[in-house]
Structure 1
Amino acid sequence: MVSAASADEAAKRRALAEAAEWFAEWQAGEMSATERQRWQAWWDANDTHRWAWQQVEGVSRRFTDNLGKDERQTADSVISLARQRRRGRRHLLGGLASFALVSVLTAALWQSTPLPRLVQQWGADYHTATGEITRIELEDGTQVWLSSASALDVDYDHQRRRLQLVAGEVLIKTGKDPERPFYLDTRRARLTPLGTHFSVRQRQADELLSVFEGAVAIQTHGDASQVVDAGQQASYAANGIGELNPADGNRAAWANGVLLAENMLLKTFAAELSQHHHGRLEVDPEVANLTLLGAFPLDDLERTLNMVETTLPVKVRRVMPWWIKIEADETSSSEE
């Protein structure tokens, strides 16, 4: 019998291979309207396809940027041969050149995509898809809000209450149970809240703890420790804890489906918004440091981008169906 984890892994492998093939189609030249419709149908089919496309697009971009001169020439030759093959044959996996391109992408993907962690995320007690936010109430009255693309395990017994943040971001209001201590374990630390309201976000290099009520004790896996009180926040990694700073109360607004911007840089805004949507959201450096003020819905990308266009002298351009770029509005600047 095939386990659920094995089935998930097989599905991800298939999706990554298909995404790499489609990416090669894009690289090979202009696609016909029919091919674009086929790609769109594949992309719309399920979350696994969209996840795989994000991995291919992101990793292939990083991989290409890091190629040496000889490797870059080889990659260019592969793409050139793929273009030639498309004139007589559309199915890219049919030839060695196309297979080489897909193999390069898949190898790079597997080096940068920790598949066991992804399988663990999908198999967690609670998990959310990209763009999904969910609220959970546990047996002791603890309230948990799980952000986009996040995962959480719950391990309660007679002696303790333990949560494990597998991925993403969580907002917690702890319930009262003096007989059982409460812990939140993350990749880099154990957090012990003391009757509190706090959030934790996992990032690539560290984690961010923001405390809104009570206090939370951090004990990193490298044995660094710090108590963070209400109104404070701190970033930490396994080997150390950063300085205490004032907590940004707006950070918790995502639990209500809102992105609050209070003089927020546009590049920061786009990075936050990207956490809740598939595809690539890019900001041109020319407008990256413009600031935003307002409340923006996280679940309605088109409405939010329209609000940004109305608020700032920018325009939103779709480079590809999955790639959105925010640029300077030349019309607005010429009118001035």
Structure 2
Amino acid sequence: MNMDRRQTNRDITLGSYDEAEHWFVRLLEPDCPAEQREAFERWRAADPEHAAAYREIQLLWKQSEDAIKDPAVMAAAKRALQPEPQVRARKRWFVPALAAGFAALLLAVALPRWLGAPADPAGTAYATVAGQEQTVTLADGSSILLDTDTKVVVRYSERTRRVDLLRGQAQFSVQGNHAWPFVVHAGAGTVTAVGTQFQVRLDDEVTDVALLKGKLAIAAQAPNGGTQDASLVGGQGLSYDANGQITPIHAVDMQQAHGWTSGQLFVHNWRLADLIAEMNRYSNTKLQLGDASLANIRVSGVFRTSDQQTLLLLLQQGWSIRAQRINGTQIQLLR
């Protein structure tokens, strides 16, 4: 049962399972250096998915250790690895022993593969600063459009195409290859595509996913190791939080989704506080509300993400809001 559940999860989070397997084998070595163990702890703490994958590898190992203590299991394993031509009479213990021995056989066959398999590459980082956008073309012809103040790490291997979104927002245009899945790791979950175009945004506690065309599979990991799954078709979106909870699927505002890729914000009845927070992502000069009563003013319009001054003029003319510069990087809004 655990084996089946692990395989199901592996289809979605293959990169994490592969990394967990490699770490487990390294830590089994008696002369594993302290810096390797420290690196492992950093890896495990970096993502709840890492910890969950490692727990499942530990569980599999524990089941195997228990199995190989049974002489009947070891005999079944030996016969499986070195079959004899004669047909033997079945004994009553053979079927359960073979089932239990499968975990032991897995170690006999799979551990050498884990030890000899090449590790995933360290990855290539791409990042933008406030007010900057960048398009990265990848080796397979896929591309990533990085929004302002965004960072990704790309790790391509023979098994998977992996991208870690560490902050910000990005649009992914993926070349299809069913045998080579494209997996974005963001927050507490993964987004798996074949050939499609989608956007992922990482905020403090919430990850937003918007699918422009194609299909996506999403898996969100809870701290206790549980997983919630969802799938999207073009024009749909969802969010998931740090606890692995996925929201109901909703229709994507396509105008807004396409807007930021051309430097525009399409604002429909936004709170002023939300508009200010979004505009601040694109500038080193930050706007702040000096009067709490301004927060819930409703604003609609189309704004250039690079044009903070026009926004200030519109606020002063339309809502009698006064802009007061505090210093070189802060502007306060008052009535």
For structure 2, which runs of at least 5 residues remain unmatched after alignment?
1-122
Residue 305 of structure 2 aligns with which residue?
298
Quick check: 1:292–1:311 contact (8 Å CA) kept in 2? no
Are 1:235 and 2:239 matched, yes or no?
yes
Are 1:326 and 2:330 matched, yes or no?
no
Q: Distance in 2 between matches of 1:124 and 1:312?
A: 46
The percent identity for this pair of structures is 23
Amino acid at match of 2:253: D
Q: Residue 278 of structure 1 aligns to a residue in which SS? A: coil
Q: Where does 1:120-269 land on structure 2 (aligned, <5 Å)? A: 125-222=125-222, 223-237=227-241, 238-249=243-254, 250-269=256-275
Q: Distance in 2 between matches of 1:251 and 1:311?
A: 26
Moved over 4 A (4+): none
Quick check: 1:199–1:252 contact (8 Å CA) kept in 2? no
Instruction: Give the superposition deviation at 1:241.
Output: 1.0
Q: Distance in 1 between matches of 2:331 and 2:215?
A: 40
Instruction: Give the superposition deviation at 1:176.
Output: 2.4
Question: Aligned pair in 2 of structure 1 residues 299, 226: CA closer, same or farther (>3 Å)?
Answer: same
- RMSD after superposition: 2.1
Are 1:273 and 2:279 matched, yes or no?
yes
Q: Residue 239 of structure 1 aligns to a residue in which SS? A: coil
Instruction: Give the superposition deviation at 1:221.
Output: 2.3
The Cα offsets for residues 50-80 of structure 1, whole Å up to 9 and x where unpaired, read as xxxxxxxxxxxxxxxxxxxxxxxxxxxxxxx
Q: Residue 293 of structure 2 aligns to a residue in which SS? A: coil
Q: Distance in 1 between matches of 2:143 and 2:201?
A: 17
Q: Distance in 2 between matches of 1:124 and 1:159?
A: 17
Q: Residue 240 of structure 1 aligns to a residue in which SS? A: coil
Quick check: 2:198–2:210 contact (8 Å CA) kept in 1? yes
Quick check: 2:176–2:196 contact (8 Å CA) kept in 1? no
Instruction: Give the superposition deviation at 1:287.
Output: 2.6
Q: Distance in 2 between matches of 1:258 and 1:312?
A: 22
Instruction: Give the superposition deviation at 1:279.
Output: 4.3
Quick check: 2:315–2:321 contact (8 Å CA) kept in 1? yes
For structure 1, which runs of at least 5 residues remain unmatched after alignment?
1-122, 329-336
Q: Where does 1:89-100 land on structure 2 (aligned, <5 Å)? A: none
The Cα offsets for residues 55-107 of structure 1, whole Å up to 9 and x where unpaired, read as xxxxxxxxxxxxxxxxxxxxxxxxxxxxxxxxxxxxxxxxxxxxxxxxxxxxx
Q: Residue 294 of structure 2 aligns to a residue in which SS? A: coil
Residue 289 of structure 1 aligns with which residue?
296
Q: Where does 1:10-21 land on structure 2 (aligned, <5 Å)? A: none
Q: Distance in 2 between matches of 1:196 and 1:312?
A: 42
Amino acid at match of 1:245: H
Q: Residue 168 of structure 1 aligns to a residue in which SS? A: strand
Instruction: Give the superposition deviation at 1:194.
Output: 4.1
Greater CA drift, 296-305 or 143-152: 296-305
Q: Residue 205 of structure 2 aligns to a residue in which SS? A: coil
Q: TM-score, normalised by structure 1?
A: 0.56
Q: Distance in 1 between matches of 2:319 and 2:182?
A: 45
Question: Aligned pair in 2 of structure 1 residues 296, 124: CA closer, same or farther (>3 Å)?
Answer: farther
Amino acid at match of 1:235: S
Quick check: 1:286–1:327 contact (8 Å CA) kept in 2? no
Greater CA drift, 274-283 or 304-313: 304-313
Question: Aligned pair in 2 of structure 1 residues 135, 308: CA closer, same or farther (>3 Å)?
Answer: farther
Q: Distance in 2 between matches of 1:326 and 1:230?
A: 40
Q: Distance in 2 between matches of 1:310 and 1:253?
A: 25
Q: TM-score, normalised by structure 2?
A: 0.57
Q: Residue 144 of structure 1 aligns to a residue in which SS? A: strand
Amino acid at match of 1:215: K
Q: Distance in 1 between matches of 2:315 and 2:258?
A: 21
Q: Distance in 2 between matches of 1:210 and 1:192?
A: 13
Q: Distance in 2 between matches of 1:252 and 1:200?
A: 13
Quick check: 2:162–2:185 contact (8 Å CA) kept in 1? yes
Q: Distance in 2 between matches of 1:280 and 1:197?
A: 32
Quick check: 1:140–1:176 contact (8 Å CA) kept in 2? no
Quick check: 1:298–1:304 contact (8 Å CA) kept in 2? no
Instruction: Give the superposition deviation at 1:311.
Output: 4.3
Instruction: Give the superposition deviation at 1:301.
Output: 2.1
Quick check: 2:174–2:196 contact (8 Å CA) kept in 1? yes
Question: Aligned pair in 2 of structure 1 residues 124, 265: CA closer, same or farther (>3 Å)?
Answer: farther
